[in-house]
Amino acid sequence: MIRSVVRGIGSALPRRIMKNAEFEGMVETSDEWIVQRTGIRQRHIAAEDETTASLGEAAARAALAHAGLTPDDIDLIVLATSTPNNTFPATAVEIQNRLGMHHGFAFDMQAVCSGFVYAVTTADTYIRCGLSRRALVIGSETFSRLLDWDDRSTCVLFGDGAGAIVLEAGEGEGTIADRGVLAAALRSDGQHKEKLYVDGGVSTTGTVGHLKMEGREVFKHAVGMITDVIEATFAQAGITAEDLDWFVPHQANKRIIDASAKKLGIAEEKVVITVDRHGNTSAASVPLALSVAVADGRIKRGDLVLLEAMGGGFTWGAVLLRW
Ligand code: ACO
Sequence spans of domains, the chain: 2-171, 180-322
Residue 279 CB less than 6 A away from ligand 1: no
Cβ within 8 Å of residue 220, ≥6 positions away: none
The sign of the CA dihedral 320, 84, 277, 138 is positive
Catalytic status, residue 280:
yes
Q: What element of type H or E holds 15?
A: none
Tell me what percent of the residues of the chain surpass a pLDDT of 70. Answer: 100
pLDDT, average across residues 27-45: 98
C-alpha span between 90 and 72 (Å, rounded): 20
pLDDT value at position 162? 99
Topology classification of domain 2-171: Peroxisomal Thiolase; Chain A, domain 1 (3.40.47)
- Regarding the beta carbon of 155 and ligand 1, being less than 6 Å apart is answered no
**What pLDDT is recorded for position 137?**
99
Residue with CA nearest ligand 1 atom 7: 152
pLDDT of 89 reads 98
Reported confidence tier of residue 264, pLDDT bands at 50, 70, 90:
very high
Structural element, H or E, at residue 4? strand 2-12
The predicted structure's pLDDT at residue 202: 97
**167: confidence class by pLDDT, cuts 50, 70, 90:** very high
Decide if 2-171 and 180-322 have a common fold.
yes
As a whole number, mean pLDDT of residues 283-311 equals 98
Of 293, 227, 223, nearest in space to 252 by CA: 223
Q: What is the pLDDT of residues 55-108, one digit of tens each?
A: 999 999 999 999 999 999 999 999 999 999 999 999 999 999 999 999 999 999
Q: Does domain 180-322 have CATH number 3.40.47.10?
A: yes
Name the closest-CA residue to atom 29, ligand 1: 37
Atom of ligand 1 nearest to the CA of 216: 37
Tens of pLDDT, residue by residue over 204-228, are 999 999 999 999 999 999 999 999 9
pLDDT of residue 183: 98
* pLDDT bracket for residue 184 (50, 70, 90): very high
pLDDT category at 238 given cuts 50, 70, 90 is: very high
| d(CA 153, ligand 1 centre) in Å | 5
Non-local (6+) Cβ contacts of 20 within 8 A are 29, 30, 31, 34, 35, 40, 41, 42, 156
pLDDT at 139: 99
Q: From 35, 219, 258, give the residue whose CB has the most ligand 1 atoms within 8 Å, as the site to mutate.
A: 219
Task: Look at residue 165 in the predicted model and tell me its pLDDT.
Answer: 99
Nearest partner of 198 among 258, 142, 116, 267, judged by Cα: 142
Is this model's pTM higher than 0.90 or not? Answer: yes
Compute the distance from residue 127 Cα to the ligand 1 centre, in Å: 40
pLDDT at 230: 98
Given this model, what pLDDT does residue 199 score?
98
253 is catalytic: no
